């Protein structure tokens, strides 16, 4: 069912490039209609928001009441609550380790330089919700913000007719999010970016969404912060060998493919027999899941199986693909992993499966897609800090370093810069 390529083939690199860019072009953002919506919300505020809510979500409220929230949470299965609690604890623990140390440095001239991590004041988390509900997305975005010390956390999550998912609300409560809005789409992004009467604007917006939400985030970027990447349809690349369990590998590929018609599943192996076994298994297992149609569609259109001849070729190809998730399901993963430069998150060994990392292992599941792992990273505490430099110069400092600054400033044609230093040196 899945396209099979062989790297021995002369045209392999070109064929792979064409396949990868074909998908990339499909996930282009729609920005024209999005710009109109953003302008409307900027101009007409809450009125515009309610207009779009009625049109797209059959919803007529902007924010649920505390009563509504609590009633929804009470309806939630305690088993799900416990699972959310466990995930929260483990995500909290691993992200706490990522906290930064401030730097303070005094040089020989007694100039003091500091470099501090200051939490962003206010952040909105966009949690998608119309066709599915993702409590895990709440945790993956909110927990790092809590660890960093963000004071004002806002959740934007569209409901069905205003009713939001109980587990999403429970996760938000767990994260002590007090501002919850039951709105969605580009208008919700505009609301938190520019503010309305009911919604105070924030400093940064994070969280996944469909292509309209992603386009809206790109559009408002500059007026408000967003992640250093555009999160798109999910991806996994799995490298396996003759020791891998084909049943497991097939289920990993299907687990990824069920996300979205545009999900990307790639399997790479040096072993032809495991490739055949996995391929057969996929056909068997597709029958087992409710979202089989999506998974099949995704595998047919964007799935690729690659037979390769060497680890070096595998490394190069993975670095070119720059997958969101990488599973190195091989015996020799230690030999390979150090050379992988481009991947959002890397699962090592036979038990580490993408689905585990999506929930409660502790690492983050908001990861760079569409090759953006070349230059960006998953959400982490880093996303919620600003880094500020503090400079305190001594008299000796400016007398020693100043003349050199005067030279450079004058060279750059900035005499005013030079003067501001000169005046401090030639004191009256």
Indicate which residues carry an active-site annotation: 324-325
Q: Is 123 left (phi over 0), alpha (psi -120 to 50) or beta?
A: beta
User: Which range touches a second copy (CB under 8 A), out of 57-65, 173-181, 270-278, 400-408?
Assistant: 400-408
Cα separation, 30 vs 348, in Å, equals 36
Minimum distance, C-beta of residue 375 to a second copy, in the bound complex (Å): 3
Does residue 39 bind a second copy (CB under 8 A)? no
Does residue 300 bind a second copy (CB under 8 A)? no
Nearer to a second copy, 15 or 362 (CB): 362
Which phi and psi (to 5°) does residue 26 adopt? -70, -25
Minimum distance, C-beta of residue 56 to a second copy, in the bound complex (Å): 20
Nearer to a second copy, 305 or 418 (CB): 418
Cα separation, 174 vs 85, in Å, equals 8
| In contact, 117 and 385? CB cutoff 8 Å | yes
User: Which range touches a second copy (CB under 8 A), out of 62-70, 184-192, 306-314, 356-364?
Assistant: 356-364
Minimum distance, C-beta of residue 86 to a second copy, in the bound complex (Å): 5
User: Which range touches a second copy (CB under 8 A), out of 51-59, 63-71, 154-162, 341-349?
Assistant: 341-349
Q: Is 322 left (phi over 0), alpha (psi -120 to 50) or beta?
A: left
Find the binding residues for a second copy in span 52-81 (CB under 8 A): 77, 79-80
Nearer to a second copy, 60 or 404 (CB): 404
User: Which range touches a second copy (CB under 8 A), out of 46-54, 56-64, 245-253, 271-279?
Assistant: 245-253
Does residue 342 bind a second copy (CB under 8 A)? yes
Nearest alpha carbon to residue 72 among 158, 184, 171, 170: 170
Minimum distance, C-beta of residue 8 to a second copy, in the bound complex (Å): 26
| In contact, 197 and 45? CB cutoff 8 Å | yes
Does residue 404 bind a second copy (CB under 8 A)? yes
N-to-C CA span, the chain: 83
User: Which range touches a second copy (CB under 8 A), out of 2-10, 270-278, 301-309, 357-365?
Assistant: 357-365
Which phi and psi (to 5°) does residue 258 adopt? -70, -15
Find the binding residues for a second copy in span 279-298 (CB under 8 A): 285, 288-291, 295
Contacts of 108 (CB under 8 A, 6+ apart): none
Find the binding residues for a second copy in span 79-138 (CB under 8 A): 79-80, 82-84, 86-87, 90, 93-94, 97-98, 100, 103, 105, 107, 111, 113, 115, 118, 120-121, 132-136
Q: Is 358 annotated as a binding residue?
A: yes
Minimum distance, C-beta of residue 26 to a second copy, in the bound complex (Å): 14
Q: Is 365 annotated as a binding residue?
A: no
| Element of type H or E holding 100 | none
Does residue 356 bind a second copy (CB under 8 A)? yes
- Total chain residues near a second copy (CB under 8 A): 125
Cα separation, 217 vs 208, in Å, equals 10
Structure tokens that stand for 14 in this block: 């070109």
Find the binding residues for a second copy in span 159-218 (CB under 8 A): 167, 203-204, 218
Nearest alpha carbon to residue 212 among 183, 189, 180, 182: 189
Does residue 423 bind a second copy (CB under 8 A)? yes
Does residue 348 bind a second copy (CB under 8 A)? yes
Nearer to a second copy, 178 or 341 (CB): 341
Q: Is 131 left (phi over 0), alpha (psi -120 to 50) or beta?
A: alpha
**Burial 336-354, CB ≥16 within 10 A → b, else e:** beeebebbbbbbeebebbb
State the CB neighbour count (10 A cutoff) for residue 1: 13
Does residue 415 bind a second copy (CB under 8 A)? yes
| In contact, 226 and 206? CB cutoff 8 Å | yes
Q: Is 325 annotated as a binding residue?
A: yes
Q: What residues are designated binding site for substrate?
A: 234, 256, 259, 325, 358, 412, 417
Q: What residues are designated binding site for Zn(2+)?
A: 256, 259, 358, 417
């Amino acid at each position: 069912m899945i396209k099979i390529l062989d790297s021995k083939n002369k045209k392999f690199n070109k064929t792979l490039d064409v396949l990868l860019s074909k998908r990339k072009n499909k996930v282009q953002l729609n920005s024209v209609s999005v710009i109109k919506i953003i302008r409307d919300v900027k101009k007409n505020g809450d009125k515009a928001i309610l207009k779009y809510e009625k049109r797209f979500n059959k919803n007529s409220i902007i924010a649920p009441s505390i009563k509504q929230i609590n009633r929804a949470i009470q309806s939630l299965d305690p088993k799900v609550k416990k699972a959310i609690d466990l995930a929260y604890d483990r995500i909290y623990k691993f992200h706490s380790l990522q906290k930064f140390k401030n730097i303070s440095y005094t040089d020989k001239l007694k100039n003091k330089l500091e470099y501090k991590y200051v939490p962003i004041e206010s952040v909105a988390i966009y949690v998608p919700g119309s066709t599915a509900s993702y409590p895990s997305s709440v945790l993956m975005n909110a927990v790092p913000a809590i660890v960093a010390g963000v004071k004002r956390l806002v959740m934007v999550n569209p409901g069905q007719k205003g009713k939001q998912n109980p587990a999403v609300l429970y996760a938000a409560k767990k994260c002590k999010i007090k501002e919850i809005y039951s709105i969605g789409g580009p208008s919700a992004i505009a609301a938190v970016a520019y503010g309305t009467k009911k919604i105070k604007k924030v400093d940064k917006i994070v969280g996944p969404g469909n292509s309209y939400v992603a386009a809206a985030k790109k559009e408002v970027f500059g007026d408000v912060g967003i992640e250093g990447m555009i999160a798109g349809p999910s991806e996994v690349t799995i490298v396996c060998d003759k020791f891998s369990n084909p049943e497991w590998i097939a289920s990993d590929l299907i687990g990824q493919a069920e996300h979205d018609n545009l999900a990307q599943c790639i399997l790479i192996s040096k072993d032809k027999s495991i490739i055949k076994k996995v391929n057969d298994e996929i056909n068997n297992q597709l029958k087992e899941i409710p979202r089989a149609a999506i998974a099949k569609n995704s595998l047919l259109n964007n799935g690729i199986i690659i037979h390769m001849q060497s680890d070096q070729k595998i490394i190069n190809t993975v670095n070119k693909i720059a997958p969101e998730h990488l599973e190195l399901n091989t015996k020799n993963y230690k030999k390979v992993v150090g050379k992988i430069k481009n991947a959002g998150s890397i699962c090592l060994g036979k038990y580490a499966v993408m689905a585990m990392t999506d929930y409660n292992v502790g690492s983050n599941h908001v990861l760079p897609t569409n090759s953006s792992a070349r230059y960006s990273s998953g959400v982490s505490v880093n996303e919620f800090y600003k880094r500020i430099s503090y400079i305190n110069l001594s008299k000796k400092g400016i007398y020693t370093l100043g003349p050199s600054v005067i030279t450079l400033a004058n060279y750059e044609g900035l005499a005013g810069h030079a003067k501001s230093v000169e005046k401090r040196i030639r004191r009256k």
